[in-house]
Amino acid sequence: MNPTAEDLARLLAPVVEAAGLALVRVQMLGGRDQTLQVMAEDPATGQLTLDQCAALSRLLSDRLDATDPIPGAYRLEVSSPGIDRPLTRPADFERFVPHVARIELTAGIAIGGAIRKRFQGRLMGLVDDRVRLDAEGVGEVLLPLSDVRSAKLLLTQDLIRATAPLDASGADTLIEQSPDGRRRTVRPSQVNGT
């Protein structure tokens, strides 16, 4: 029997935490050619360096080899959440106020006589167990946290500035997406204001 993502997260979280990191998400991807994706962050920066990824990968491999929870062959992929990261924990919806996020619900909520499942807008925090969002084209909505299928930050200039000490040095170009979905290519000097 294949373990669930929650089972794998319970197994791997102590290893991640012992390394001084925080677990962001665990996912099993693919069908026949499976990949176990483990996303973690350094609480100090919200990201992982390449050295931290490599060290965590070795620790997780040891744990997985010792417990053998996944039948068959699979690849282990350890990564940083990146700037336009998934929002997977309740605290993420508070931590990233007032940044723009895209949220998809499982069942959806009724708005204007229709059931709506997809929203995009500025995060406004949590109210009880609901995500408060200033949704484009709708205004303020409260989305049940228990109904969130997926949530992700969208890359904006404000988010890039807020993720310091990260910067875009070394990048040739960046793709920037505005809240309305339009994209443009920019040079890192345009992002960093130099």
Q: What confidence tens digit (pLDDT) does each residue in 25-61 have? A: 999 988 778 999 999 999 988 888 999 999 999 999 9
**What DSSP state is assigned to residue 58?**
H
Domain 5-79 has CATH 3.40.640.10: no
Residue range 83-194 forms a domain whose CATH class is mainly beta
Q: With a cut of 70, list the residues of the chain below it in pLDDT.
A: 164-194
Q: Provide the residue ranges of all domains of the chain, joining segments of one domain with +.
A: 5-79, 83-194
Residue pair 35/75 in contact by the 8 Å Cβ criterion: yes
How far apart, in whole angstroms, are the C-alpha atoms of residue 135 and residue 145? 15
**What DSSP state is assigned to residue 47?**
S
pLDDT at 6: 93
Q: What does 103-128 look like in DSSP terms, one character per residue?
A: EEEEEEEEETTEEEEEEEEEEEEEET
How far apart, in whole angstroms, are the C-alpha atoms of residue 87 and residue 96? 9
Question: How many Cβ atoms from other residues are within 10 Å of residue 120's Cβ?
Answer: 19
pLDDT at 192: 47
How far apart, in whole angstroms, are the C-alpha atoms of residue 130 and residue 171? 37
Fold agreement between 5-79 and 83-194: no
pLDDT at 194: 45
